[in-house]
Each structure stands twice: as C-alpha cells, then as structure tokens.
Structure 1
Amino acid sequence: MNLALWITAGLLAAVALTGGVTKAFVPKEKIAAAHGGGWTAGVGAGFVKGLGVLELLAAAGLVLPAALGVAPVLVPVTAACWIALMIGAMITHGRLGEYPLVALNVVYLALAAFVAWGRFGPGSFTG
C-alpha cells in the first residue's frame, strides 16, 4: 500500500509540476493556442499564472513533506486540495465541451482521492 501511495503521489506531482511550469512561465497567448487552452480566453494572465503557482505548490506538497519528514500530514491535505482543483477543471472543460479533458481530470481526481484516503487512513505516516 505504501509503495502504491508513493507512486501515485509521485505521478500526480509530475502532472502538477508540468502543468504548473506551463501555466506559470508560458505566455497566456501560447497556452490559449494549444489544445485544451481555450479556457484561458475568459481569464486574465494573472489568474493563469496564479493557477500555475498553485500547481507548483501542489507538486511540492504531494511529495516533499513525506520525503523530508516535515509535516507529512500535508501530503493528504494537498491531495484533497488537488481534488478541489480537478473539480474546477472538470467544470471549466465541461462548459467548453472538452470532454476528453474532463475524463482526464476525473482520472487525476481519482488518483488524488486514493492518495488522500490512503494517507489519511491506512497508509498514514503517523501509524
């Protein structure tokens, strides 16, 4: 169970890192031109950059607290926050009719739910 939780958290961290770097450092216009970037049309560049920073923090929060042994409870808390972020992403992509992206967000949500459940419960770092 512990290994599965580490692998899942690492995978989600990689997803968050990739999305975070893109949103935080790539110009909004370039993101808008990419597949799945249509959601940026209705928001400001600061919002896109802010989401990028949140995703970078999520990447760190899914792995570093446990790896460093400093406040490991932040891992499931971060996973729960990722769930909220994915709900927002699913709503946004659903409104634009981007259903394959909604399905991908559902997968990320399920992985985050597994991490949150596992690290709050049977795979807790306190047990």
Structure 2
Amino acid sequence: MNVTLWIIQIILAVGFVFSGWMKTIRIESSKKTWAWVNDVPKSLVVLIGIAELLGALGLVLPWALNIALVLTPIAAISLAGVALLGMLFHIWRKEYRELGVNIFFIVLALIIAYGRL
C-alpha cells in the first residue's frame, strides 16, 4: 500500500507542479492554453499557482523527510479543495471538457488523504 500511495503522490505532485508552474512562471503561455486565465485577475492566477506548488511540496516532502507526516494528508485535502473549486468554476463557465482533469486530481488527492491518515 505504501508503494501505491507513493506512486499516486508523485503523479499528483507532478500534475500540480506543472499546473502551478504554468500559472506562476509561464503565465503568458497559460493565457494561450487556458481561456479562463484571460478572464480573471493575474494576481488570482498566480495565487492559485503558488498554492498548487506549495501543495505539491506538501504531498511529497513530509514523507520523504519523515518530518511532520500529518502535513501530507492536509496538503492532499487542500489540493482536492483547489481542484473542486476549479471544477465548479469550469462548470459555471460551461467548460465541461476541463472537468476530467479536476475529477482525476480530486480522486487522487482524496486517495492520498485517506491512505496517509
């Protein structure tokens, strides 16, 4: 079970690092890739990206360093919340093709939260 959780943690962390990187460092590329980025304040996009990057660190570092292990399920629950809010935002904008990624991230995050608690 531990190996499975590690695999899921790494997959989810890589996904959120990519997403967070695009929203913080590659914001101009994000505007071309995701239509919604053009419709919200840049500071909000960057804030979401920073939250995703920090959450990705929280998924991996506590268990990798064996320090404050409770931070991993907290990070997972927080990232599930970020993905849920993103999903609701896409539903509100009728961007239904974007929902699959959000659902995938939510499921993986909840598996990690449950498994690491």
Quick check: TM above 0.5? Answer: yes
The answer to whether the 8 Å contact 2:22/2:29 transfers is no
- Give the ranges of 4+ consecutive aligned residues of structure 1 lying more than 6 Å apart after TM superposition: none
Please state if 1:89 is matched with 2:81: no
TM-score (norm 2): 0.93
Alpha-carbon RMSD: 1.2
Aligned partner of residue 72 in structure 1, secondary structure: coil
Give the Cα separation in 1 of the matches to 2:94 and 2:80.
21
For 2:29, the equivalent position in structure 1 comes to: 30
Of the two, which has the highest radius of gyration?
Answer: 1
The corresponding residue for 2:70 is: 73
Matched with 1:49 is 46
Preserved contact between residue 87 and residue 99 of structure 2 (Cα < 8 Å): yes
Deviates further, 41-50 or 106-115: 41-50
Per-residue Cα deviation, 1:7-58 (whole angstroms, up to 9, x for no partner): 101100000110111101123x432221xx1222332111111111111101
Aligned counterpart, 1:2: 2
- Indicate the percent of aligned positions where both proteins have the same amino acid: 34
- In the alignment, the residues of structure 1 paired with residue 68 and residue 48 of structure 2 have an alpha-carbon distance, to the nearest angstrom, of 24
Q: Is the 8 A contact 2:90 2:98 kept in 1?
A: yes
Q: Is the partner of 2:108 in helix, strand or coil?
A: helix
Structure 2, unmatched stretches of 5+, are none
Query: Which amino acid is the alignment partner of residue 114 of structure 2?
Result: W
Cα pair 1:39 1:92 within 8 Å, conserved: no
TM-score, normalization by structure 1? 0.86
